[in-house]
Amino acid sequence: MNRMIQTWRWFGPNDPVSLQHIKQTGATGIVTALHQIPHGDVWTVDEINKRKAEVEAYGLTWDVVESITVHESIKTRSGNFQEYIDKYKQSIRNVAACGIKIITYNFMPVNDWTRTQLDYVMPDGSEALYFNWVDLAIFDIYILKRENAENSFPENIVTKAKERFATITEQRLQEIADTVMFGIPGEKKITVEWMRNALKAYDNIDRDALRSNLSYFLNEICPVADECGVQLAIHPDDPPFDILGLPRIVNSMEDYDFILSNAPYKSNGICFCTGSLGAKETNDLPEMVKKLDDKIYFIHLRNVRSDEEGNFFEADHLDGNTDMYAVMKELLLIHKKHNVSIPFRPDHGHQMLDDLGKVNNPGYSAIGRLRGLAELRGLEEGIIRSL
């Protein structure tokens, strides 16, 4: 029976976790991107091959592109959006020409993954990423100062945000702002002013309009991906809720049904992220895996634990909201049924042991992810032997 392909996220030559260290984890594949290239610009064959050679010099393979970022003009279908779509098509062709066949991307408007704290202390002393609605309300209402931001939160969250803001330090305010706007390591940092301007472009874009824009984009690029033999794997919203007054349209089975049915191409598929999807209590992840079946092209495995208000921290990989055994079993049944080997990576990990105090990309320290990979590898082996 085929096993999953063990991969590791690497942010390029400036990543504190080197390729030499990754080699020692037992992972065989690398998940990376050309983060130095501005959003919307074409990835050239020369630049792709340069990065590929760096990876292969350590006996590793570049298995998944994560991500070719979708330009904001494409998401809003405004300005030079068609030009950016044409550039995206060329990047797909160039990636395929270099032998890489899986491209992950997301369609989150303005902000990518969002947390409010990067060093939430766990009972064992390790540190986790954390999302708290009150802190997000403080950012939205008092730092971003978005018009009518209070209307985006329940009354109890607005009240708690007002109370917390009354005693909060300037240092903590800056930490919240920096964390919410952290973005992808290696890419240009955004500012409050940039975010305010970017949000204005969505004044007249609701859920249906954003869905329509995604459908248009997919129907433009999927024929090119089909032609090149590339699998396109859309990553779910992280977190899987509307935030900052923006619609989020990739976080449920209903969303996936829309995405797959409105662009019925072979290339159109899913990056199944158990952490992002698991933060939404109505999502039944094992059942979603069953339904998505061979449309899952790439897998992120991590876990979160939520409280009654929907705040969540990133838990150990085998602990949290998601029954990782049940998810892994369904994924391996897909491997068996279709005779495939889907790449996965241990997504995020606690800052722990010798990594505590070191400068690392949030969630991407070495030891926490190595623990996750080891646990997931053992879980996979046990399930395979029982099938």
- Residues with active-site annotation: 235, 273, 300, 347-348, 364
Distances, alpha carbon 9 to alpha carbons 297, 299, 300, 347, in Å: 16, 12, 10, 8
The C-alpha atoms of residue 8 and residue 2 are separated, in whole angstroms, by: 19
As given in the structure block, the two tokens for residue 284 are 């039944």
Residue 370's nearest CA partner among 348, 343, 340, 344 is: 348
The C-alpha atoms of residue 149 and residue 49 are separated, in whole angstroms, by: 45
Helix, strand, or coil (residue 381): helix
For residues 69, 83, 250, 209, the Cα torsion angle rounded to the nearest 10 degrees is: 150
Q: Which residues share a beta bridge with 296?
A: 270
The C-alpha atoms of residue 130 and residue 169 are separated, in whole angstroms, by: 19
User: Going edge to edge, which strands form the sheet with 303-306?
Assistant: 117-121, 127-131, 312-315, 303-306
